Structures are given as C-alpha cells and as structure tokens.
Amino acid sequence: MLSQYEADQLISSLKQLLVKKNLINFPKPGEKMVLQCKDGNNNNYIIDVARGRQKPQKATYQTRHHKSTILLRVDIEGPPHDNPDGEEIPCPHIHIYREGFDDKWAFPLEQEITTNTEDLIQVLIDYFSYNHISNRHELIIQGGDLLDGS
C-alpha cells in the first residue's frame, strides 16, 4: 500500500506516454485501450480507457501504478458513487487515491478537471493534462466512432 505522500508524488510526477508515432486509436464502444507511461524516476504507469457497449458515452479513464494500484479514475455517464462516509457523488466524478482507502473516494469531476464530458476525446486530453503527460501536445488521437453518435 502506498502512503499518501508517495501517491501524491506519483500523481504529480511528469510522465511520458510511450506510444508509436504519437498515435492513439481511441476505443470504439465496448472496447478498451491500455497505454504505457514512464516518469523520470523510471516508475511505470498504465492508463486504461474503456467505453461502454450499451451506452457509448459511458467511459472510464484510469491511471494505475505497479499494474494494480489505482491512482486516478474518471467515470463518465456511470452510476453515482457512494463514498466511505455515505456521501453520494453523481457522475461524472473522479476517484483519487487516498491512503487506507485506495480509490474508494470520489469527487465531482468539475472540482478537479475542467472538460467537456460530451466529447470523450477532449476528456482524454484533459485527463492527460491532469496526469502531467509531458508529450500530450504531440499526440494524434483518432477513432472511437464518435462522429456518428455511436
């Protein structure tokens, strides 16, 4: 388990997305993609993006460290989340690692990330910014079947 200090350091570290030709194929409805990242201290991260099959606007963006420790997770068009204190947080929301609770706490997305949740690629771009992805401005993001509403 990470201490809060360690988690905060990992979240705030400058990371490089490891993709070929700076090209990302955004997942189609019902699909997911897995992206690798690395920071200057050789810490490895995984960013997962998953799309809903029945609800194509439903999406999850997640940053993991050491394959299983979830540092951040954004949920779009999903159910509300009940925090450990009983407070219900509507979607969209963001889960941020908290020592002793892992990713069990969520916060309204707009408190942490300003984005347009109707545009899933824009959410990804803003999520990259929140994750301190250093090469985010060089990336080409395509696909996802977003133009035809599916």
Beta-sheet strands, E only, within the chain? 15-18, 23-26, 32-39, 44-51, 59-65, 69-76, 81-82, 88-89, 93-96, 106-108, 140-143
Q: What pLDDT, on a 0 to 100 scale, did the predictor assign at position 145?
A: 72
pLDDT one-digit tens code per residue, 6-16: 999 999 999 99
With cut-offs at 50, 70 and 90, classify the pLDDT of residue 149.
very low
Q: Is the pTM of this model over 0.85?
A: yes
